[in-house]
Amino acid sequence: MPPSSATTALPEPPSARRPVPLHVRLLWLPEAMPGMLFGALDVLRAAAGVARLQRPDADRDLSWTVIGPSGRALALPALGLEPARRRRATEDGNALVVVPGVLARNAPHLGEIVGGAGQALRLLERHAQAGGWIAAGASGIAFPAELGLLDGARMGAPWTFQSWMSQRYPRCDFSASEPMGLHQRVFGCVAPALQTEFMLRVLGHLHDPDLAQTCSRMLLYQAERQQLTPELVSQRWLSKTADSPVYRAMRWLQANVDAPYRLALVAQAAAVSERTLLRHFRQVSGMTPLEYLHGLRVERAKTLLEVTLHGSQAVAEACGYSDAAAFRRLFQRATGMSMSSYRARFALRSQRRYWRVEDMPRPAGTA
């Protein structure tokens, strides 16, 4: 059977979509890789925390629980987890089961684990028949494949088990080179180390793209932000332009983001003529020094909008603009949205009127 056209590499999720309620069940198996399961849990907790900061008055539309092969919720007091109430999200099919990889010694052992997981397979089959989604990581991809849910798919598989999976599940093509993929209602990821990014992509598709993007900036390595954050200046990464005129110019621009732009001063810091700097800068970076500075200023503005309550005038001044209107136009061109819209979508702190209130005890019977 040829690969289905419904199979795709897992793209970046769409943006500017209203959050969709989602209930996630994390499937605990005796042979599960605990790190994959709890890595997924970390993403869910982080996402819920950010959502609570952004929308304190909104209903909680992301919920989760850890379940055993029977489907029964497991209480894990040591991790602060108690069985969660079933949410309405499960009624319309927008429910997700996360299947972790399993610790198999070799391919035959993986076959024994999957073949002996009758309860878990029946749970996944019922879930799929009800229209639910499945996110399987690493060797856990074998579980939906065992049920025929990947028939006709072209999806990646862990290279250590790729040959065995191809023989056991001949209706699926496991030769895809992309680390993440989507076939109908099954998401797949080939490596345990990608679990955080994988869960963020899944959340972006099923729940809230903006929230997933915001969390990715917190949970995934952000080279530019690491470089621009003053507290981490001693750990700046070095690019291939280190000690070159372009590198010196970039360092000077980074240290003077809030200063008026003067090409002569940048060239002086780079120890070359203005003409030479412009030529080298474009050759190395594909942009002019001013365009690079605009990128730094927009990135600084994003950070300030996410974590402070400063108004647009103060943010503009912190980014080297005395004219807030001019900076708002620059920000709009660079991001495709206004500064106020960006803050509303990606803020990492609650609004001032909620400060300390969420920490106060609530009367019995209130949500």
What letter would DSSP give residue 120?
A: H
Domain extent for 230: 223-346
Q: How many CA atoms lie within 13 A of 213 on its CB side?
A: 17
The full length of the chain comes to 367
Residue 92 has pLDDT above 60, yes or no: no
Kindly report the CATH number assigned to the domain that includes residue 117: 3.40.50.880
Q: Which of 110-114, 131-135, 258-262 has the lowest mean pLDDT?
A: 258-262
pLDDT of residue 235: 37
Kindly report the CATH number assigned to the domain that includes residue 264: 1.10.10.60
End residue of a domain, out of 177, 202, 219 = 219
Domain match, 211 and 236 both: no
pTM of the prediction? 0.70
End residue of a domain, out of 192, 219, 246 = 219
Residue 103 has pLDDT above 90, yes or no: yes
| Comparison of pLDDT for 146 and 6, the residue scoring more | 146
355 within a domain of the structure (yes/no)? no
232 within a domain of the structure (yes/no)? yes
b/e map 181-196, b = 16+ CB within 10 Å: bbbbbbbbbbbbebbb
Domain match, 168 and 132 both: yes
If one counts every other C-beta atom within 10 angstroms of the C-beta of residue 130, the result is: 11
Distance CA(177)–CA(46), nearest Å, equals 30
Domain match, 197 and 238 both: no
pLDDT of residue 178: 93
Number of domains in the chain: 2
Say which amino acid occupies 322: S
| pLDDT tens-digit map of 64-86 | 999 999 999 887 755 656 555 55
Domain match, 186 and 252 both: no
Closest CA to 33 of 192, 197, 199: 192
What letter would DSSP give residue 53?
A: H
Q: Which residues, at least 6 apart from 280, have a Cβ–Cβ distance to it below 8 Å?
A: 244, 245, 246, 272
104 within a domain of the structure (yes/no)? yes
Domain match, 95 and 186 both: yes
Domain match, 214 and 232 both: no
End residue of a domain, out of 219, 246, 281 = 219
Domain match, 22 and 146 both: yes
pLDDT of residue 244: 83
353 within a domain of the structure (yes/no)? no
* Pair 348, 53: CB distance under 8 Å: yes
b/e map 213-247, b = 16+ CB within 10 Å: bbbbeebeeeeeeebbeeeeeeeeeeeebeeebbb
290 within a domain of the structure (yes/no)? yes
Average pLDDT, the chain: 85
The proportion of the chain whose per-residue pLDDT surpasses 90, expressed as a percent, equals 65
* 3-state secondary structure (DSSP) of residue 42: helix
Average pLDDT of 2-21?
63
364 within a domain of the structure (yes/no)? no
pLDDT of residue 2: 41
Domain match, 156 and 19 both: yes
Indicate the pLDDT class of residue 361, thresholds 50, 70 and 90.
low
| pLDDT tens-digit map of 308-328 | 888 999 999 999 999 999 999
Indicate the pLDDT class of residue 195, thresholds 50, 70 and 90.
very high
Indicate the pLDDT class of residue 188, thresholds 50, 70 and 90.
very high
358 within a domain of the structure (yes/no)? no
Domain match, 38 and 138 both: yes
Distance CA(88)–CA(206), nearest Å, equals 15
| pLDDT tens-digit map of 231-253 | 434 434 334 445 689 999 999 99
Domain match, 74 and 97 both: yes
Distance CA(96)–CA(80), nearest Å, equals 21
Domain match, 202 and 297 both: no
Q: Which of 95-99, 193-197, 272-276, 358-362 has the lowest mean pLDDT?
A: 358-362
Distance CA(266)–CA(263), nearest Å, equals 5
110 within a domain of the structure (yes/no)? yes
Domain match, 65 and 147 both: yes
